Amino acid sequence: MLFSEMTTREAFKITKQKMTEYQLEFLNRLNAIEVDAHWFRRVFHTFTASFLFYYIIPDEGWMRVVKIVIPTIIVLGMALLEARRLRGAINYQRFFGLRSYEMKRPASYLYFGLAVLILFLLFPQQIAIPCLLCASFTDPIIGETRYYLGKKRAYIIGFMVSFFIFVATWYQANWWIVILVSSLGALGALIGEAKKLKLVDDDFMIQMLPALILLLVWQGGIVLGVCILPPKMILPI
Amino acid sequence: MNKKKSIADQRTLTIQKLLIRLELWFAPLLLLLPLLVSLIFLWEWYAKGFIVGSSVYDGELLLGLIVLFGNLAFDVPFLRSIRMLKKKQ
């Protein structure tokens, strides 16, 4: 049938049918995409480095309240979700990339979120930034290199990566402070990652352990009359 | 009429399947947000530090580079893994 011979109604009907078929094919193609859980977890780790955006947001007026309330609500939401999953109200299959040991305890993303919240609210950014970056990059780098080079070499590489992160974020301090802080911070991050605890996830420990060590060093320095903190790295817009 | 109904049913089923697959909806965010944040850091350094001749923003340059290259290093194998699985199918 030529187009000129069709009625408007018929043309509309054919177009609609073609559109539906195309839409279905597109949806099927999307649904056929497989995501590798292993690399998904790795990318999830490196993605968390973008949380540093938090420090670009201004600290004045109502924004200060927003900077406290929003992250707290997000972590509470995550805790609620995990509570529902553990009670069986939400099927665990809805959570892509969960490890087998996370079936009966809170998943690592909750520990990660909680550690980030504590860092943001209770620690100065000079301490929080390298600790967060260690969780973002050192953890997946150790995970990958452990697979190819073995545990020992992976931990050496992990220590070096963490050391580099601390040097890069504390470069404005005195050289002896940079070396001291980088050594302690990298060691803390490495122990936090290597030491597997039953109740607390390594994603929590890799951030909190170096942060607590540096907090003690910082406060100890203040008692002795030395402020070791360098100037802030990220200035709000 | 029956064919029309079955197409509609199939579409509903596919949409439901897609909605469950959170990882698929997360993937663009995981890839694009860190790149965007690193570009913001680099822009801040360029506009407020480099042009003005101030070194106060050098820290943001360093962070921008760490976030950018750190993410690219893992984004590439992630995207490659998706392509490999697609090829296998």
Say whether pLDDT at A157 is over 80.
yes
The pLDDT assigned to A4 comes to 62
Say whether pLDDT at A162 is over 60.
yes
The pLDDT assigned to A218 comes to 95
Dump pLDDT digits (tens) for B13-36. 776 666 666 677 788 899 999 999
Assigned token pair, A27 = 């949806």
Assigned token pair, A213 = 């060590």
Assigned token pair, A32 = 């056929």
The arithmetic mean of pLDDT across residues A165-183, rounded, is 95
What are the chain A neighbours of B82 within 8 Å (beta carbons)?
33-36
CA-to-CA dists, residue A13 to A17, A24, A32, B2, angstroms:
6, 17, 29, 16
What are the chain B neighbours of A124 within 8 Å (beta carbons)?
none
What ipTM, to 2 d.p.?
0.84
Tracing tokens 């490999």 back to the chain, one arrives at B84
Looking at per-residue confidence, does A16 or B17 come out higher?
A16
What are the chain B neighbours of A237 within 8 Å (beta carbons)?
44
Give B8→chain A minimum CA distance, Å.
8
Q: Which DSSP string corresponds to A32-45?
A: H----HHHHHHHHH
The H or E element spanning position B80 is helix B58-88
Chain A, residues 45-74, CB within 8 A of chain B, namely 45-47, 49-50, 52-53, 56
Name the most confidently modeled range: A8-12, A92-96, B22-26. Answer: A8-12
- The radius of gyration computed from the CA coordinates of chain B, to the nearest angstrom, equals 21
